[in-house]
């Protein structure tokens, strides 16, 4: 998942800003076939993902890492 400002620049507090060999716009990784995303009332990011043979789920996005199960 990427995170950008409205003007296309990278927010300075993104988790990989300044790290060699990593794109600074990356917010999180490890997603599997995401189909939609939303913010909850606390501003947390959620993504629904679809598995190849079932296993669909909804996950809370972890800053700088993989998703955390939120089924």
Vertex 50: Cα angle to 4 and 27 (nearest 5): 20
Question: At residue 66, does pLDDT exceed 70?
Answer: no
**Domain interval for residue 43:** 34-69
pLDDT digits (tens, 9 = 90+) for 11-49: 999 999 999 999 999 998 888 788 899 999 998 889 988
Contact between 1 and 47 (Cβ < 8 Å): yes
Question: At residue 71, does pLDDT exceed 60?
Answer: no
Look at residue 30 in the predicted model and tell me its pLDDT: 81
Could you give the number of structural domains in the chain? Answer: 1
The answer to whether residue 29 is domain-embedded is no
Look at residue 31 in the predicted model and tell me its pLDDT: 81
Look at residue 67 in the predicted model and tell me its pLDDT: 64
The answer to whether residue 22 is domain-embedded is no
Look at residue 26 in the predicted model and tell me its pLDDT: 94
């Amino acid at each position: 998942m990427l995170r950008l400002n409205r003007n296309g620049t990278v927010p300075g507090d993104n988790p990989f800003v300044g790290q060699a060999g990593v794109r600074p716009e990356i917010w999180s990784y490890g997603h599997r076939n995401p189909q939609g995303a939303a913010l909850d009332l606390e501003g947390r990011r959620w993504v629904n993902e679809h598995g190849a043979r079932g296993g669909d789920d909804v996950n809370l996005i972890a800053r700088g890492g993989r998703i955390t199960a939120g089924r």
